Structure 1
Amino acid sequence: MSTFPSRRLALITGASLALLAGCDNSSDSGHDGSTARAATSASKVKVVASTNVYGDITEQIGGDKVDVTSIISDPDQDPHSFEANTQNQLALSKAKVVIENGGGYDDFIDRMLKSGDNSSAELINAVEVSGKAAPNGGEFNEHVWYDFPTVSKVADRIAAALGKADPAEAAAFTKNAETFKDKLAGLEAKEADIKKAHRGQGIGITEPVPLYLTEASGLVNKTPAEFSEAIEEGNDVSPKILQETLKLYSGKQVKALVYNAQTSGAQTEKVKDAAEAAGIPVVPVTETLPDGKDYLGWMTANIDAVATALGK
């Protein structure tokens, strides 16, 4: 069993890099307004994040002193099947700070940085910052943005990187990161409340996306590992494992299904249908920010939905 999932975000082809020169030759219109906007943009720290999750966190810390490009920002996009393009490569070539998840989730960032020869960008890898490793004999759960202690560490690293790029604003970045982390502490308190009321209760999942959150809330994942691993790898689940999973719901062995709505398929829909037929609450989660949400609001909604499903 591999340490990291075998599915990878797709890599930009080397041939497309030749288009970059043409992409970067746009001329200014010469109007005073556009010239001023260009000057303002140029004064900001250019940041590229692999997903809008890290992009939003960076904006909360950097405020109007950062210019953030989030490569994956479509809430309907399955991150595992994403294909990067020349615009992504161009943004990376200009970035002062780059934030990736790591853990095999967004390897295309490293490859594009290498192809674009941007060795000066400061790279923040959330998995490396987390210090987490795969359990003995198990798969590593790379969805570390659902782990608030990790996100707190990442916030500190982002503030430090922005301060290095713009020393005059370093104190402001640090202060913003502290404010952000205070709000994260509020989310951890919500997890503790769930744990106090529901410690040891079983839940089901379709993929390991929410497990850091549910485990911190004291909940026990009852889904067979073979099911969630197959779904995450994009493979079919064996009939035996599928039936074993469905029995969790028909037998009411779990209190809720925490369902990855971003990568649903025929077999996950069967699980969702089984939960609904048994009257077991379904809590949809996603891998990227929904429209109109920031990171803190999104995670607050996720935790509140879990609490409501459990009857808190």
Structure 2
Amino acid sequence: MRAKIVPVLSVGILLSLALAGCSGASSPPKDDGLIHVVASTDVYGDIAKQIGGDLVSVTSIISNPSQDPHSYEADAQVQLSLSKADVVIQNGGGYDDFVDTLLKGANNPGVALVDAAAVSGHDQTPTTGEFNEHLWYDFPTVTKVATKLESTFSRLDPKNAATFAANGASFSSAVSTLESSEAAIRASASGEGAAITEPVPLYMLDAMGLVNKTPEKFSAAIEGGTDVSPLVLRETLALFGDHAVKLLAYNAQTGGPQTAQVVAAAKKAGVAVVPVRETLPAGKDYLEWMTDTVAAISAALK
């Protein structure tokens, strides 16, 4: 598993945090009638916005499309935002532990915390004994998160509960359509082989009935930021020359020489290459992004 996102707060930053906290200059307004939401990534920030609409103010800590969330370093402004939030959304499962760490020092005991891993119902995977934390590729979990947000917003702003319910129903209906698309792919492509560079899309590939043929040591090394052994790399590259897989899903936000070798081998063998991500692509919301990803996988399999 790749290194977790960790907070980095130097003495100077802590001092600036204290000064900012005293002045209140960077604090979001608390009398604007909005529910203030802080999300660890723009994936969850976008889901919150789709449920809350104009009744919520959303701050996404990680929102740069080119940012690798695993290398993110939290700063004092993040903790200040958390200290003023009504609702905080995190992925959990070891993915964004900086939220827990910073919340402990944020002096915000009344904040409502929505944790995707906690509501997912998932446990360790039987093959690796590890938890696949990339939960935004698991549509049942996304629906649970949306439902949790709807109930949380309704509790904080009961007069607008009907609006939150309507927005939640619309969002969940769109996610259900995505699940139907997965099921259609499963009906025609179940058992087909797929390769990955990291476990990012595995929930989606599993739902489509695709079989991950990638050596576990390869994807674990890439996710962990370590070198792949020559033997494991050869085994991975052979998947494409032997036509053991129909597609390669690779994390477009990370890369290195060995990942580049795998992508090049897939292209040379005529195997479709499908990019996946950990944060929103520029100009896309969550539903648009996932619709595009499902469509890309469907096209690759054909």
1:306 maps to which residue? 297
Residue 18 (str. 1) matches residue 15 (str. 2): yes
Residue 164 (str. 1) matches residue 160 (str. 2): no
The answer to whether the Cα contact below 8 Å between 1:281 and 1:309 also exists between their aligned partners in 2 is yes
2:41 maps to which residue? 51
Compared CA separation, residues 209 and 39, structure 1 to 2 (3 A): closer
The match for 2:242 among 243, 246, 251 is 251
The answer to whether the Cα contact below 8 Å between 2:2 and 2:225 also exists between their aligned partners in 1 is no
- Return the letter of the residue paired with 2:261: K
SS state at 2:65 partner: coil
2:3 maps to which residue? 7
SS state at 1:141 partner: coil
Shift of 1:159: 0.8
The match for 2:63 among 73, 83, 88 is 73
Shift of 1:165: 1.6
Residue 110 (str. 1) matches residue 100 (str. 2): yes
Q: Give the gaps of 5 or more residues in structure 2.
A: none
Q: Give the alignment of 1:1-312 within 5 angstroms.
A: 5=1, 7-13=3-9, 15=11, 16-24=13-21, 25=23, 42-136=32-126, 138=128, 139-311=130-302
Q: CA-atom RMSD, angstroms? A: 1.6
The answer to whether the Cα contact below 8 Å between 1:45 and 1:162 also exists between their aligned partners in 2 is yes
Shift of 1:166: 1.3
The answer to whether the Cα contact below 8 Å between 1:41 and 1:67 also exists between their aligned partners in 2 is no
SS state at 1:204 partner: strand
- Return the letter of the residue paired with 2:54: D
Q: Give the gaps of 5 or more residues in structure 1.
A: 29-37
1:35 maps to which residue? none
SS state at 1:62 partner: helix
The answer to whether the Cα contact below 8 Å between 1:202 and 1:222 also exists between their aligned partners in 2 is yes
Compared CA separation, residues 258 and 27, structure 1 to 2 (3 A): closer
Shift of 1:264: 1.1
Compared CA separation, residues 164 and 125, structure 1 to 2 (3 A): same
Compared CA separation, residues 18 and 58, structure 1 to 2 (3 A): same
Shift of 1:26: 6.2
1:34 maps to which residue? none
The answer to whether the Cα contact below 8 Å between 1:52 and 1:289 also exists between their aligned partners in 2 is yes
| Higher mean C-alpha displacement, 190-199 vs 49-58 | 190-199
- Return the letter of the residue paired with 1:194: I
Q: TM-score, normalised by structure 1?
A: 0.92
Q: Please give the alpha-carbon distance, in whole angstroms, between the structure 1 residues aligned to 2:15 and 2:113.
A: 24
Q: Please give the alpha-carbon distance, in whole angstroms, between the structure 1 residues aligned to 2:235 and 2:282.
A: 35
Shift of 1:39: 7.0
Compared CA separation, residues 119 and 27, structure 1 to 2 (3 A): closer
Q: What is the aligned-residue identity percentage?
A: 52
SS state at 1:43 partner: coil
Shift of 1:27: 6.2
The answer to whether the Cα contact below 8 Å between 2:153 and 2:161 also exists between their aligned partners in 1 is yes
Q: TM-score, normalised by structure 2?
A: 0.95
- Return the letter of the residue paired with 1:45: I
Aligned length: 298
Shift of 1:20: 2.1
